[in-house]
Structure 1
């Protein structure tokens, strides 16, 4: 029809008062006008909506039926619905629904109301001004048996549920209970009806038995109430693992014969409507919602669980309801009683699920894993293995976060550790950690910042507990009411589940404190998982017409459009990136700590439970070299400390590293496995320590736990773990004055010492000896080097280094030699490690340079005068001068002039030489030196004499331009008997020893018989803390020296002297 015809039709309808004519005109509009989008647009623009709203007041039921049908079709459009609302459609519509019992009119009225409620602005007005809407819809549920009316009424309830005022009224009027009653009415198997109202059956809590599984004692059967008391005491004590238990009951979800699947088409549609409505209802986190869905003795919830069966066509809808309930803390016990965890486990293992159904099942298992009994069900059903399989195949961040949350709940479940380890838990978690640290940047603490840095929560609690009076462990167990543990437990009872956020967009429940019986429950929640079930188009179902068929409309339902549109694009982006793991890890057992403190103290790189930096401690409290103490990283109340770390969801919104490390730490304490000693695992943990501000974090403690297991010793010995540990000691090249790098070095030394303690046991010695005698050549060389890193006992070192010739082997590796003196090339990394091993060995044997207090270096006094030749010879003065002549390496004679008075005043030898004419040098004022003395060395020597004459020469001579000048000055000071100069020069030589000059000093000492410098240079070869490659180059240069044999002998004798058995 064209526009003119539609306008004429509307004019005729407006003018007529005959109900038969009205009916015919309205049917013509429904059939010929609004069947197309263009027709609806013409009808709307010509004022048809206003005309039909006015006709709703006519007392003609047949007319009303068609009017409601037309309005229902047109009000799917936002502009039409807005116009109808502006013309006052709500009041007559709700009056019709409430007062006219005609099923056809009620059906179309509820459909129209549902279409209008799809728009938030109209829904808000309904809740504000039409309070009788909830009563009208709730009354329909209990008063009518017409399936079509029930379908439309339930749909309208679902669309209106988001409005808080209407939701509260519906809950108070028992709307949920009536919807669940309808579900039970059509699903009940009358042949085997449930005896839900039987008064003769004793109360469940009175008769239920609980089996307590004990590892080292027979199983114990107690009443449920008795078991609750046991668990309550264990939770309050914070010192015991919560055991898994199984409630003995006859109900099993698979064996249920109480329900049946609907067969009739209308009943199937009703079921779909009810389940969609329950999806929306269960997004509201309320104890009353959970109770009414549960129904009497669990009939309602059991029916929903039944609809999740493998052959059910309602499985996806029912699983979404179960998922929503699993996010409700008040529904956890009820879900457990209905065997939900077994249902989800069976489906995920045996049913052919699509992606959304699999995600629902996984989420349910993960959310329910907080309860110890549910973890037992998951473990015994085999779902734990399936969960691990899903975890390895998971690439979606939110689903992975949910699985990590579930695995985190097993941190105290010793019975499940073996299953998790055998299914690759460690490698999976290490892979996640690798992904995290790949994007992590180094953010270390400098020494300048260490005093102002924030102290961690752990450190604050630890320091305060040390000041307080000490209590015994038993006192804390049985007098817990006076401690922090009791207050934490009491706070935890406000929200025993502690696993859901308050964000409506997140799709998870709220953890805010609330009154369980309150009717003003939290806002409805729309989860992104719902997109798998519903589309985005606005939809209005078609009511059946007994007389005439209406045009078919889009049959695809949705609820997403009923939600308000996002405020802005940025907010939508934040919702998309929301990380549920941050909320799921929020542990309210520590709610007494504020979120602000947690955000300050918990860094994303891992746990910070370490004492303040050691530099703040008194000087006398330095840790001994051979002492390994972990008391400053692990508190006595270990379980409490773990919970203390998870104090705020804000701390983990961007990083899941801390809970993963806590889980690994819990497992590594009591269990061992080859996955722990895999090179990738150890390398990842060491990288975390290296990147952390405070290296002694959870990763450090995990490595310590791995090393402490004796079964791990041999695998660690056979790989390059010790070499890696040494490499991670080296600071970052650009990190000067870095406190974090210094702490990393100290931490690696402690781990090395811990590994060495096991190596020094009888077992460790046996394994080392076995490898050295029977293993392959490469393995023997590697273990020989490891010995130099980790063994500290002198008697054992003497046996290994000399009796078993390990020292000779290590030196051959460095020098590329074999036992016969021939050439044998070794891997460059192995040679560098061997040199580092020699350095560590020297440090362990306390072979180090002398640390004498030699006073202030002289260059601070005469720094400006050193390069000025006038200080030793003033050419402009008439004073007599002496010329010293030396021959350089090229054979050219060079001379140096010096004031005679300076020589006479500085040395007795020079005084006798030049005071008189007894010597030819005095006559000619010229001295010819036959030794190989450089000009710079000669000038440096005269300069030191000058300092001595003005009493400015301290115990440390000023540094020369080159070490050769110091050696020349030392030779001259010995020749001309200047002990003060000799001592000062010798001290500066020992101070300036480095890898460039130590070989020259060593050779000079042998030629000039200087015992002190010989010892100092030999020691330096051993203890010099330079890179392995640089030391290897130094050793090979010494091995080519003319004094090669003396060098090898002195090196061996120095070490032998420190490890020989008779040394006290």
Structure 2
């Protein structure tokens, strides 16, 4: 045994010396043991550099079969090296002796297997060159290989014509590697390769079904069928259908679960050139996949039972293959794959954990459903099985429930950057793509950009490069008509390339690259190579070499096992050269969510075009879920779809109007338009824009002829609850004031809103918001504070009232609490008619130095005297540094003492400086209790139109109701609103609703 480099070189040198068969056999065995591929690659190079390849080829002419077996095994390993292969074919013309050996040893299992292995290894280096050479110069090799497969496909074979699984696998591999765009026609049409392989496939698949044997051979046959299917040649289908044992394509269904991806790729490649639907068992394959999913992975309710995550390898493969079948338009009909649609919807609904694997699978499923959007029957099939509800649950599964949009809005932080550059929505909207873009908010926390454009562009470049290669191949000059014809049947660029989308993510999710369990047998992991262990550790003994017959009989089974071992090593080398480029690092969860949302939105957009309309699309939950998607991503150039556009498209039908008015959707959109933080908050600006767009669309519906009739009918003929729900949102959506006046006055809308103020607090709050929206947005009632601010400039009064030292006529006022206040009698008489009559007239007080005043406070009276002293007869706005109670008391005194100019000054001061959400209940209650009714209307107007938060407004109204002012307040609200509503001109020819009796 050669144990070192020197010993191996000694064996190589011995090979060059003439020896007897026994010694030569030992040398060959020792050499073979040191040529293990790829471990002993250097030794194979030494065989070439030492010039031993020629000796090995000459040894093939020796008659001893055991020597020929070992020599073929050595040559098979040497063929794994590209340079050795070139020398053996070019310099030593190994093809001729191989053809000669096959003619003389047609029934030798080991020799046939090793020669087939050499042919395969040779063709994998220069596939086109050597394959063309063999078919043109030595066609017997192909003919013999095909005949061997034909014989093996017969049911009853004599023992001397039976071949091992390893030999048949090597024959299949050789025929597969002989395939190229030039040889596909002669191999299929002239040599009948597929007819022979199809017959063997039927036999082997039947045995596998019954006994689960020859799985390795079956995998190799499937791989050959897959490679032949990638060439656009219709005769391939005909050959497989018309084999000696029957239609082999029908047996693809029987072994479907052995290699589901490859079998689906075979069908998908053939379907591009098929002429009849019955030629391919698409329906049977779909049924098989569905039975597998339902029986093993889904319970009757449609819930996943495979494991906690629902991502077992078998489950995943079946789902991916069904999706891949539906990529081709020919399969998207009820007859072929219509039953798959309900199952895919169930599977989509079964995923409950938003991890990377499940998100990718959901993207694939929704993308597949999107392929069916142009077939009305499949759309109806989806709707029949509640696809809308499933999509809604997926959106809520990703981003939360229907209230998430509003909660997210209220929880946002104020943006500090007021000068932040914003996206020009007008410019974006003018450049529409084929698919709508996805609008993604700019300041959403904990989010990243959607899939980068580089990913998509690299995928597009890859497709373009493949297309360029194919064009060059098809356009290259051919030496004959046959070559030109062959160029038409070039291999398709990818066995699973999508025909509907060139985006990288969907190609990555097609069956070839879909996420799978490590246990899966992937495309490149299917091994049909020929690497096997060195011939015989047991062959070394002289005893085994005593005679040629003993050698042949004793080692036949051993060599078959060795051949099976060698196949794995050869295929590793073959896969090395064809290994796909590394898939980029997995996309982030956020990117996957954005892609899933894009696909869901596209599908929902397609449903929005369906007539009659789908009621489930226009629900509050669905619309909020769609809008909620946009709030989780940042707006980028690579955004794919704008869910706001989808909502607008859905709301294009007036049939959704009344159901939405009965929900809280319109109120939620109105709340989005309110600035929650500051004018510089970009998020608030985004929400405001969304609210405006949606409400504008609903306004269009409400003010259309159909919309007006529906609303009027709801107000006049519907039950009380519907009338209440519709009336609550009318002020949010109308912009036609005349129409608002009709609904509020002649359809009793205002009465409905005011009656709701008697209901429980939640309904009362909604009524308050609606009344405020009507007053501020539609009737444009002025804010009393704004009115006061437009008055004359304010004069501040900080002094306290004091009697002048030079006063000659002093009068002392004695109050109820016993306190006294002195004043100038002459000054009071000059400035006030009331005091002139009291102090200088015919009353008893005119002769008294001490006058008693009831129901007067000293502080208030002093403030009144100060104002009387400070102000002239003309009123002006003053800011008196007193508390509110004192000012209100001064108002009462000024009214009591007929000091109109002081009353007007104090009214202006209170209206300008004291009216607020906190003080309105105090002022309103004072106005009622004092009987003056001063500032009563102003308080009601402020309560309705003040720019304050909802919480402050509700607290203000709650205080008014708790103070017992409810009935008076409702009366004042009615009078104020009616005054404005009746002033709106209504055309006689316009729509008129009579008042309910």
Cα distance in 2, alignment partners of residues 911 and 185 from structure 1 = 125
1:665 to 595, 605, 615: 605
Query: Which residue does the alignment assign to 2:513?
Result: 528
Q: Aligned partners of 2:3 and 2:769: how far apart in 1?
A: 95
What's the CA shift for 1:91?
1.9
Q: How does 1:302-381 map to 2 (within 5 A)?
A: 307=249, 309=251, 311-313=253-255, 317=259, 320=262, 322-323=264-265, 326=268, 331=272, 338=279, 342=283, 344-349=285-290, 354-355=314-315, 358-368=318-328, 371=329, 374-377=331-334, 381=338
1:806 matches 2:752: yes
Secondary structure at the counterpart of residue 922 of structure 2: helix
CA distance in 1, matches of 2:275, 2:878: 85
- What is aligned with 2:692? 746
The offset of 1:268, in angstroms, is 9.0
- In 2, are the aligned partners of 1:158 and 1:280 still within 8 Å (CA)? yes
Structure 2 counterparts to residues 436-835 of structure 1, below 5 A: 436-437=398-399, 453-455=423-425, 459-461=429-431, 514=468, 517-519=471-473, 527-528=512-513, 532-534=520-522, 540-541=529-530, 548=555, 549-550=558-559, 551-552=561-562, 553-554=564-565, 562-563=574-575, 572=582, 574-577=584-587, 654-669=594-609, 670-676=611-617, 680-688=621-629, 699-700=643-644, 702-703=646-647, 712=656, 716=660, 719-733=663-677, 736-737=680-681, 738-747=684-693, 749-750=695-696, 753=699, 761=708, 764-766=711-713, 772=719, 785=728, 793-798=740-745, 801=748, 806-807=752-753, 809-813=755-759, 826=760, 828-835=761-768
Inter-partner Cα distance in structure 1 for 2:118 and 2:852:
122
Distance 1:907 1:698 in 2: 76
Match of 1:173 among 182, 195, 199: 182
Q: Distance in 2 between matches of 1:797 and 1:1041?
A: 28
1:385 paired with 2:370, answer no
Q: Contact (CA 8 Å) 1:1003, 1:1043: kept in 2 or not?
A: yes
Q: Which residue of 2 aligns with 1:230?
A: none
Distance apart, 1:436 and its partner CA: 4.3
Q: For residue 434 of structure 1, what is the aligned residue in structure 2?
A: 396
Offset of residue 357 of structure 1: 5.3
Measure the CA separation in 1 of the matches of 2:264 and 2:620.
42
Q: Deviations over 1:866-885 (max 9, x none)?
A: 69x5x89999x999999999
With over 3 angstroms needed to count, the CA separation of the structure-2 counterparts of 1:1022 and 1:109, relative to structure 1, is same
Paired residues for 1:224-239 under 5 Å: none
Q: Distance in 1 between matches of 2:659 and 2:333?
A: 33
Residue aligning to 1:66: 70
Counterpart for residue 547 of structure 2: none
- Count, aligned residues: 808
Q: Is residue 2:73 matched to residue 1:55? A: no
Matches of 1:99 and 1:940, distance apart in 2? 132
**1:992 CA drift (Å):** 6.0
Q: Unaligned 5+ residue runs, structure 2?
A: 103-109, 149-165, 297-313, 352-356, 434-454, 475-490, 497-511, 536-550, 987-997
Cα deviation, residue 423, structure 1: 1.0
Do 1:781 and 1:809's aligned partners in 2 also have CA atoms closer than 8 Å? no
Q: Distance in 2 between matches of 1:92 and 1:575?
A: 43
1:849 paired residue number: 782
What residue is the counterpart of 1:1054 in the other structure?
976
CA distance in 1, matches of 2:641, 2:41: 70
Note the C-alpha offset of 1:561.
6.4
Q: Which residue of 1 aligns with 2:921?
A: 999
State the Cα RMSD in Å: 6.5
Q: How far apart are the structure 2 equivalents of 1:1039 and 1:187?
A: 90
Structure 1 residue 986 displacement after superposition: 1.9
State the partner residue of 2:173: 155
CA distance 1:807–1:764, change in 2 (3 Å): closer
Q: Using a 3 Å threshold, how does the CA distance of structure 1 residues 998 and 1060 change in structure 2: closer, same or farther?
A: same
Which of 87, 90, 94 is equivalent to 1:91?
87
- Find the residue that maps to 1:518 and give its secondary structure: helix
* Contact 1:956/1:987 (8 A) holds in 2: yes
Shift of 1:18: 1.1
Please list the CA deviations of residues 786-812 of structure 1 after superposition, one character each: whole Å capped at 9, or x if unmatched. 677678643443466489x63454111
- Equivalent residue number for residue 1041 of structure 1: 963
SS at structure 1 position matched to 2:690? helix
Task: Find the aligned partners of 1:567 and 1:345 in 2 and give their Cα distance.
Answer: 30
Conserved? CA contact 1:789–1:840, under 8 Å: yes
Local SS of the residue matching 2:132: helix
Question: Which whole-Å CA distance do the structure 2 matches of 1:566 and 1:297 have between them?
Answer: 26
SS of the residue 1:533 aligns to? coil
Alpha-carbon separation, structure 2, partners of 1:115 and 1:941: 115
Q: Report whether the alignment pairs 1:838 with 2:766.
A: no
- Partner of 2:382, secondary structure, is helix
Distance 1:708 1:349 in 2: 38
Q: Please say if residues 653 and 701 of structure 2, whose CA atoms lie closer than 8 Å, have aligned partners that are also in contact.
A: no
The aligned counterpart of 1:210 is none
> What do residues 352-384 of structure 1 show as CA deviations (whole Å, max 9, x unaligned)?
79546524532333321xx4x643456884333
Secondary structure of the corresponding residue to residue 675 of structure 1: helix
* Distance in 1 (alpha carbons) for counterparts of 2:740 and 2:921: 30
Task: Provide the C-alpha distance between the structure 1 equivalents of 2:911 and 2:262, rounded to a whole number of angstroms.
Answer: 80
Aligned twin of 2:485: none
Q: How does 1:99-248 map to 2 (within 5 A)?
A: 99-100=96-97, 101=99, 102-103=101-102, 107-108=113-114, 111=117, 126=125, 132-136=129-133, 143-144=141-142, 145-146=144-145, 147=148, 151-152=169-170, 155=173, 171-175=180-184, 178=187, 182-186=192-196
* Partner of residue 613, structure 1: none
Q: Distance in 2 between matches of 1:324 and 1:882?
A: 120
Once the 2 structures are TM-superposed, how far is the Cα of residue 995 of structure 1 from its aligned partner? Answer: 1.8
Distance 1:799 1:462, change over 3 A: same
Deviation of 1:420 after TM superposition, in Å, equals 1.3
1:728, 1:85 → 2: CA distance?
70
Alpha-carbon distance in 2 for matches of 1:116, 1:800: 91
**Structure 1 residue 1048: Cα displacement:** 3.6
Bigger Rg over Cα:
2
1 or 2 for the larger relative contact order (CA 8 Å, sep ≥6)? 2
Cα 1:687–1:17, aligned 2, differ >3 Å: closer, same or farther?
Answer: same
Q: Partners of 2:320 and 2:223 in 1: how far apart?
A: 15
The equivalent of 1:398 in structure 2 is 360
Report the CA distance shift for 1:90/1:398 in structure 2 as closer, same or farther (over 3 A).
farther
Q: Deviations over 1:67-110 (max 9, x none)?
A: 341465699xxxxx7xx668x56422665553321337785366
Q: What are the superposed Cα offsets for residues 139-164 of structure 1, whole Å, 9 maximum, x if unpaired?
A: 567743234888547636868x9xxx
Kindly tell me: are residues 829 and 425 of structure 1, through their superposed partners in 2, closer, same or farther at Cα, counting changes over 3 Å? same
What are structure 1's unaligned runs of at least 5 residues? 76-80, 118-122, 162-169, 191-257, 283-288, 464-499, 580-603, 605-650, 814-825
Shift of residue 345, structure 1, vs aligned partner: 3.9
Query: What SS is found at the alignment partner of 1:155?
Result: helix
Alignment correspondent of 2:481: none
Q: Distance in 2 between matches of 1:714 and 1:502?
A: 45
Partners in 2 of 1:748 and 1:504 — Cα distance?
36
State whether residues 179 and 274 of structure 1, in contact with CA within 8 Å, keep that contact through their aligned partners in structure 2: no
| Cα separation, partners in 2 of 1:1061 and 1:12, compared to 1, 3 Å | closer
